[in-house]
Structure 1
């Protein structure tokens, strides 16, 4: 009953929102842009890093605009605190209580703040935003929960599907982070392809600069990193397919160890069993809770980055590796070729022998490593922040025109 009442009140107020808060013409400058800040204000990895990086680069490249980040709560952490220290980035917390705020009552705050365009950074936008003059954009990262439903709990899958499908229907524009994700939106939701714009992601700028030797030495000592190692970064879950790297490692030169960085899930037990069966427990190093500032150095010291995920929306770790000057081997079957480009190597995610062969081939061939590093770094410039940021700003202006 409480939810129904909130919906009725919101619909009753939609006319008032339209008439009161939007005396600005749609294309007045500077722009006032709102963002769903749930991840930016609370998550220290993944979509949190993506959200903060996107907003930060916008605020730096287009400093005259105002950027409002809406979240029902905020986590105290160095990287989040420093994010909100920017003069043109403002944290907005609920004025009228947190109940249903992100889905309904947030529209009151958007109206008060005279927001012209709202960007849902992760699969959802406020309910009934289409009944206001606020233009809306939603970013869809992937539809893996539909492509591989076995990886998700039933209730989670249905909730993700409802939110994302509804957002795609109601938003003025959809941003897909890869051509593969765009194709999935068209296939699963029947969305008009013309409503979808592909804007690739960049990664944090810290990956784009070589760290000084002193910093690398400190990082190596801090985490007791071996002289030669293969790197894998990502949640340790079945879809990420770490077990195939373990199986391939058996036939890789013993002087190379495997360093794995990522949150452990129940799948970790399968990985442990495989390591024990193959006698590889002493060749695999698991790192957890790595400070974000140290991550670029761990990439830069790796001999090779391996990412055999069954399915991704884009694959940020791949471009982090390329920017770090680290050769990449990734999997076919989703969008990783879009992220890794033509000078990375791709294998079937189930082909252990092919993965072993390609790892050995790269590690034993210095000239190939050099080419993969140089050509990979050249390719990945297409994802540079200024390019992506300009595309985003053009998207905002287009929906307002």
Structure 2
């Protein structure tokens, strides 16, 4: 069977959780499956293949198919004319997998699978910028969801959200858990990190959905002059409000902002932090809690959406809307060494429940079920 895969998220300069998900899934899938033929699609006018994309193309049954047009031109045609058919651009395929919501169109008879990582645009529209709301309007998620033959989610929570929001049949959706992105090994940061000896960590994009303001407010309530807060992540929508709030607190000199950090630096941050504080308002899975656990870092995170599926009982779960509760969890985790040790141990055990090779095996099994007769 010939399978097309949309890898456009992999050419972003700064990979997000979706980009890491696609890369890790495909590496494990290609190591497992040497029978099916894979065509990896992306479009770019100028950007050469990244190191990650080149690595994927080294497998014998994998080839790159690049459409050398900028996204604005490609997306314009897809939005207003439903053309070009992406399966035709790559020379034909039996099945096209889109691991993230995006602009696409395929010819009649081409079977499709899509990933829906979360329904934040529908469940919490207030956390989406005007630009992002317009993007979702043009992509038409509901049309894509109904058109696809199968839907992958990376949590049971998102599967349930799809069923309740769109009335989809249970059998159409497969919840396939991913693996952890970071591993528990010594990491040397690729850029200098101005880190204090004693710090709490938030890691991820700076945007309203992540509730970084709640983290800052909770940190400001602590009476620990020796403790710092390190906030690492790319600047997202309304990031200036987060910077402004930090400056207004009485603990502003103990709040350190790092921008987007490399994969190795993320591991270094986890390994040296007192705890990851990650009380997001909504997630389709939530990689940072598992990343932190894999690196021996105790976790405080939210008791909502899919996050308890990832964190299990290996984290302190809080109400993200309750700043006092976040503050109390921080106080507990930094003052009780036995609790910290217990959470670290439970974290290592929790990470073992998730495996990229298992995830790839489940995806291959579904591909095989859709083979042409």
Asked if 1 retains the 8 angstrom alpha-carbon contact of 2:87 and 2:96, the reply is: no
Matched with 1:229 is 199
Matched with 1:10 is none
Q: Which has the higher contact order (CA 8 A, sep 6+)?
A: 2
Q: Secondary structure at the match of 1:92?
A: strand
Task: List gaps (5 residues or longer) in structure 2.
Answer: none
1:285-314 Cα deviation digits (max 9, x unpaired) = 111232223322222222211111111111
- Find 1:191's aligned residue among 159, 164, 168: 168
- Find 2:122's aligned residue among 146, 157, 164: 146
> How many residues are matched?
360
- Find 1:208's aligned residue among 169, 183, 187: 183
Change (3 A) 1:382 1:135: farther
- Find 1:340's aligned residue among 305, 311, 319: 311
Asked if 2 retains the 8 angstrom alpha-carbon contact of 1:33 and 1:116, the reply is: yes
Matched with 1:122 is 100
Change (3 A) 1:221 1:191: closer
- Once residues 88 and 326 of structure 1 are traced to their aligned partners in structure 2, the CA distance between those partners, rounded to angstroms, is 39
Task: List gaps (5 residues or longer) in structure 1.
Answer: 1-30
Describe how 1:317-396 pairs up with structure 2 within 5 A: 317-396=288-367
Asked if 2 retains the 8 angstrom alpha-carbon contact of 1:168 and 1:191, the reply is: no
Q: CA deviation at 1:270?
A: 2.2
- Find 1:136's aligned residue among 112, 124, 142: 112
Asked if 1 retains the 8 angstrom alpha-carbon contact of 2:163 and 2:170, the reply is: yes
- Once residues 283 and 101 of structure 2 are traced to their aligned partners in structure 1, the CA distance between those partners, rounded to angstroms, is 15
Matched with 2:14 is 44
- Once residues 190 and 218 of structure 2 are traced to their aligned partners in structure 1, the CA distance between those partners, rounded to angstroms, is 25
- Once residues 72 and 273 of structure 1 are traced to their aligned partners in structure 2, the CA distance between those partners, rounded to angstroms, is 38
- Once residues 164 and 266 of structure 1 are traced to their aligned partners in structure 2, the CA distance between those partners, rounded to angstroms, is 21
Asked if 2 retains the 8 angstrom alpha-carbon contact of 1:107 and 1:126, the reply is: no
RMSD: 2.5
Matched with 2:259 is 288
TM-score under structure 1 length normalisation: 0.82
Matched with 2:64 is 91
- Once residues 51 and 386 of structure 1 are traced to their aligned partners in structure 2, the CA distance between those partners, rounded to angstroms, is 13
- Find 1:273's aligned residue among 225, 231, 244: 244
- Once residues 349 and 61 of structure 1 are traced to their aligned partners in structure 2, the CA distance between those partners, rounded to angstroms, is 39
1:62-110 Cα deviation digits (max 9, x unpaired) = 2444322101124554444444444443220138996437953322144
Asked if 1 retains the 8 angstrom alpha-carbon contact of 2:98 and 2:115, the reply is: yes
Change (3 A) 1:239 1:42: closer
Change (3 A) 1:249 1:96: closer
Q: Secondary structure at the match of 1:282?
A: helix
Q: CA deviation at 1:116?
A: 2.8
Asked if 2 retains the 8 angstrom alpha-carbon contact of 1:42 and 1:75, the reply is: no
Change (3 A) 1:239 1:221: closer
Matched with 2:84 is 104
TM-score under structure 2 length normalisation: 0.88
Q: Secondary structure at the match of 1:222?
A: coil
1:212-268 Cα deviation digits (max 9, x unpaired) = xxx55xx39921212221111111111111011111112332322111111123533
Asked if 2 retains the 8 angstrom alpha-carbon contact of 1:103 and 1:125, the reply is: no
- Once residues 226 and 53 of structure 2 are traced to their aligned partners in structure 1, the CA distance between those partners, rounded to angstroms, is 39
Change (3 A) 1:65 1:300: farther
- Once residues 349 and 61 of structure 2 are traced to their aligned partners in structure 1, the CA distance between those partners, rounded to angstroms, is 33
Structure (1 or 2) with the greater helix fraction: 1
Matched with 2:153 is 176
- Once residues 83 and 338 of structure 2 are traced to their aligned partners in structure 1, the CA distance between those partners, rounded to angstroms, is 54
Change (3 A) 1:158 1:257: same
Q: CA deviation at 1:315?
A: 0.5
Change (3 A) 1:61 1:348: same
